[in-house]
């Protein structure tokens, strides 16, 4: 953006090549009368004015793309640039076939790699706007300077791998990872990706670093390996949206989300040693043994029957946790208790009730307000220390266990 490219024609000019300097540049004509070409990128205003060499049509306002400039002989003329701040993805003048080359290349397709590098941006915070649906194979921002902005207004479909750089994304629609081949990678380098979808039948992606969305996203088709990286979404992470075949492997990742949902089907989920921190509703689908799930917000609804190695509530937060009636939450261990001034209210969605199951040992919880809960499975369940037996509970002992103080 903010660039022109000067090429010789039937005459010769000494300033052949890229120009990206705001203001006036002298063009020296040494090849006699004739013409030369100036390619103007989108996002810049440029004029050519006669000097000692007369320019036909002076003052010539350059249009985007190739412009033929005709002079009457040797001498000088003046190029004036006003560097712009924005260009559109779906303009041929925004693209070159090579780094530092002329504009006018075709708009990328799903078979084309796109690169944003040190030759792409000439001023601070210049914006590339996705003005219509965009496609590419690999997208790579390595080496881009001046902290550019990708404004994703109409959706970007990436059929290969993604590498972000020193830039930012503003989004009202999603980045859609659409590959139908495995071996793809996603490297965000700390950039908030915005809305995202992994949706490629047969596609496979592996995260290379922490993955952050200030919005929400989903796995809709294909295989996603979080590769032990931290995954953070400000809103919902749909772990298996839709009916497409999908595989999600969490490894040792920490997943931070406001809501975790499994609203679809055909998902194979391997939780491995991952920790899920969820500040809102948890709808895990009952399809795996979750390792550690921490419910951190003031209110959450747990939907469906789920199995947890650990299910933990935030002892220093007043919480209301609602369990859908007819479900059983099976735990190897759990810390459900509150603390002084922070009661945990555990309740079913109605009087039909919910169950919690632990096979052996004890489950201890203080500052609990329990309703419609059935404790089962073989362990001893103690609602102790300022806990309240509100209504409809079975299997709980509302006292301290003998010989144990905690």
Residues 50 and 111 reside in one and the same domain: no
Is the residue at 356 inside a domain? no
Neighbour count for residue 315 (Cβ, 10 Å): 17
Same domain, 23 and 49: yes
Which of 37, 58, 83 terminates a domain? The answer is 83
Q: If you average pLDDT over every residue of the chain, what do you get?
A: 95
pLDDT of residue 405: 46
Q: Which of 48, 83, 118 is the last residue of a domain?
A: 83
Percentage above 70 pLDDT, the chain: 99
57-80 pLDDT, tens digit each: 999 999 999 999 999 999 999 999
Q: What's the confidence (pLDDT) of residue 406?
A: 44
Answer whether residue 374 is part of any domain: no
Q: Are residues 53 and 185 in the same domain?
A: no
- Quick: pLDDT tens for 218-242: 999 999 999 999 999 999 999 988 8
Structural contact between residues 318 and 299, judged by C-beta atoms closer than 8 angstroms: no
Q: What's the length of the chain?
A: 406
Question: What average pLDDT score do residues 262-268 get?
Answer: 90
Residue 367 lies inside a defined structural domain of this protein: no
Both 200 and 144 in a single domain? yes
| pLDDT score, position 149 | 97
Range of the domain at 280: 86-335
Contact 305, 279 (CB under 8 A): no
- Domain count for the chain: 2
Mean pLDDT of 279-306: 95
- Across 273-294, average pLDDT: 95
Higher pLDDT, 273 or 402: 273
Name residues whose C-beta falls within 8 Å of residue 176's C-beta, 6 or more positions apart in sequence.
155, 156, 157, 158, 196, 197, 199
Of 197, 206, 255, 212, residue with least CA distance to 227: 206
Tell me if 352 is assigned to some domain.
no
CA 292 – CA 260 distance, rounded (Å): 14
Q: Are residues 282 and 196 in the same domain?
A: yes
Is residue 403 very low, low, confident or very high in pLDDT (cuts 50, 70, 90)? low
Q: Domain check: are 133 and 275 in the same one?
A: yes
Give me 381's structure tokens: 């369940």
Is the pLDDT score of 160 beyond 50? yes
Q: Enumerate residues 6+ apart whose C-beta is below 8 A from 406.
A: 364
Residues 44 and 179 in one domain: no
Write the pLDDT tens digit of every residue in 308-320.
999 999 999 999 9
- The verdict on 253 and 290 lying in the same domain is yes
Tokens in use for 168? Answer: 């930012």
Tell me: do 67 and 121 sit in the same domain. Answer: no
Mean pLDDT over 239-260 rounds to 95
Question: Does any domain span residue 344?
Answer: no
Residue 376 lies in a domain: no
Which residue, chain included where needed, has tokens 């917000």? 297
Quote the pLDDT of residue 134: 97
SS3 content of the chain, % helix, strand, coil (to 5): 0, 50, 50
Residues 67 and 172 in one domain: no
Residue 124 is assigned to a structural domain of this protein: yes
pLDDT tens digits for range 85-108: 889 999 998 999 999 888 888 999
**Residues 6+ away with beta carbon under 8 Å from 53:** 29, 71, 72, 73, 74, 75, 76, 77
406 occurs within a structural domain: no
Q: Check residue 363 and give its pLDDT.
A: 97
**How crowded is residue 97: how many other Cβ atoms within 10 Å of its Cβ?**
11
Dist CA 304 CA 285 (whole Å) = 6
| DSSP letters for 51-117 | SSSPBTTSSEEPPSEEEEEEESSSEEEEEEEEE-SEEETT-GGG-BSSTT--B-PPPP-TT--EE--
Identify whether residues 77 and 180 lie together within a single domain: no
Residues 189 and 135 in one domain: yes
Domain edge (last residue) among 308, 335, 362: 335
Least confident of 83-92, 158-167, 294-303: 83-92
48 Cβ contact list (under 8 Å, min separation 6): 27, 38, 55, 58, 59, 60, 62, 67, 69, 77, 78, 79, 80
DSSP symbol at 404:
-
Tell me how far apart the alpha carbons of residues 288 and 250 are, in angstroms, rounded to a whole number. Answer: 12
Secondary structure letter of residue 63 according to DSSP: P
């Amino acid at each position: 953006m903010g660039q022109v490219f000067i090429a010789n024609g039937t005459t010769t000019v000494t300033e052949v090549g890229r120009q990206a300097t705001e203001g006036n540049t002298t063009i020296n004509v040494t090849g006699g009368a004739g013409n030369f070409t100036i390619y103007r990128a989108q996002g810049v205003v440029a004029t050519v004015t006669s000097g000692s060499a007369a320019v036909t049509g002076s003052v010539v306002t350059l249009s985007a793309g190739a412009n033929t400039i005709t002079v009457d002989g040797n001498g000088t003329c003046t190029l004036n640039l006003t560097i712009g701040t924005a260009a559109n993805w779906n303009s041929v003048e925004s693209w070159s076939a090579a780094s530092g080359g002329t504009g006018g290349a075709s708009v990328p397709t799903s078979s084309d790699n796109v690169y944003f590098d040190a030759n792409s941006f000439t001023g601070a915070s210049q914006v590339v706007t996705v003005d219509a649906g965009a496609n590419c194979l690999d997208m790579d921002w390595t080496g881009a300077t001046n902290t550019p902005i990708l404004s994703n207004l109409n959706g970007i479909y990436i059929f290969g791998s993604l590498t972000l750089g020193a830039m930012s994304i503003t989004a009202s629609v999603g980045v859609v990872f659409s590959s139908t081949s495995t071996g793809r990678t996603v490297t965000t380098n700390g950039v908030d990706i915005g809305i995202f979808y992994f949706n490629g039948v047969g596609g496979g992606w592996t995260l290379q670093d922490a993955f952050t969305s200030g919005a929400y996203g989903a796995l809709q088709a294909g295989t996603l390996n979080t590769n032990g990286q931290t995954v953070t979404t400000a809103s919902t992470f749909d772990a298996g949206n839709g009916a497409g075949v999908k595989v999600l492997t969490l490894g040792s990742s920490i997943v931070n989300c406001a809501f975790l949902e499994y609203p679809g089907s055909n998902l194979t989920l391997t939780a491995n040693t991952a920790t899920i921190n969820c500040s809102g509703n948890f709808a895990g689908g009952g399809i795996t043994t979750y390792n550690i799930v921490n419910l951190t917000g003031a209110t959450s609804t747990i939907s469906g029957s789920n199995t947890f190695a650990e299910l933990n509530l935030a002892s220093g937060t007043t919480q209301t946790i609602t369990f859908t009636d007819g479900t059983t939450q099976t735990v190897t261990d759990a810390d459900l208790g509150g603390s002084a001034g922070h009661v945990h209210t555990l309740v079913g969605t109605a009087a039909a009730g919910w169950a919690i199951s632990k096979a052996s040992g004890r489950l201890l919880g203080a500052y609990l307000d329990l309703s419609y809960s059935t404790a089962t499975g073989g362990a001893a369940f103690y609602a102790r220390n300022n806990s309240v037996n509100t209504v409809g509970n079975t299997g709980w002992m509302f006292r301290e266990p003998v010989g144990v103080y905690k």
